[in-house]
Structure formats: C-alpha cells, structure tokens
Amino acid sequence: MADAVKIPQTVEEAHQQGYATERKTLEEAQAIMRAGAIAGILRDGPHRDCSTLPPNHKCWEGDCDPSGWKEVLFCDGTQGCTIYAKVRCR
C-alpha cells in the first residue's frame, strides 16, 4: 500500500503532520484505552509500558474508525500513556 497513511510514532511526528495533542489525566487515558478494548479496536494489544519507552513515544493505538480516524496515546515522560491525539488513518 503505497498510499498508506503514516501513523505518528511520537508527539513530534504528530505535530509535524499537523495534529494537535492533548494531555489527558491518567483516568481519561485509561477510559480511552478501555473503550477501545471493549470495542475490540486494539490494533497492537494493550498499551505499552512507558517505563520502557522514551517520553513522547506512542504507547497505544486504537483501530481506524469508519470515518477514517483513530485515537493514539503517547508517553508523557512522567505519569504514563496520557498524551492524546486523533489522527487520520486513511
């Protein structure tokens, strides 16, 4: 797929691609991930442990919704997987 949409792997990539990011509380981030899990839209399983990832790195990615968007979360460097962005996936 040559025209596949590149999902940002870091907060910096998200900003370079023109997406806004938003810091969520731990509870809000967990609710986003829980909703994704309930809907069966976890693309790469449960979120990755931010203690093993650099700050601003992608730690969770939902599935592409029918309108062509997906939710992603990035490590915040302190609390965990709490920096939110909604990105185009097709």
Does residue 66 form part of some domain?
yes
pLDDT for res 33 = 87
- Number of domains composing the chain: 1
Is 80 within a domain?
A: yes
Instruction: Tell me the residue range of the domain where 60 lies.
Output: 11-88
Q: Which of 7-21, 33-47, 67-81 has the highest mean pLDDT?
A: 7-21
Q: For residues 33 and 28, give the distance between their C-alpha atoms in angstroms, rounded to a whole number.
A: 9
pLDDT average, residue stretch 32-43: 68
What pTM was estimated for this model as a whole?
0.85
Give the Cα separation of 14 and 39 in Å (integer): 24
Count of C-beta atoms within a 10 Å radius of residue 73: 27
Q: Among the residues of 1-90, which ranges form H helices?
A: 11-16, 26-38
Residue 35 lies in a domain: yes
Query: What is the mean predicted confidence (pLDDT) over 54-78?
Result: 92
Q: Is the pLDDT of residue 41 over 60?
A: no
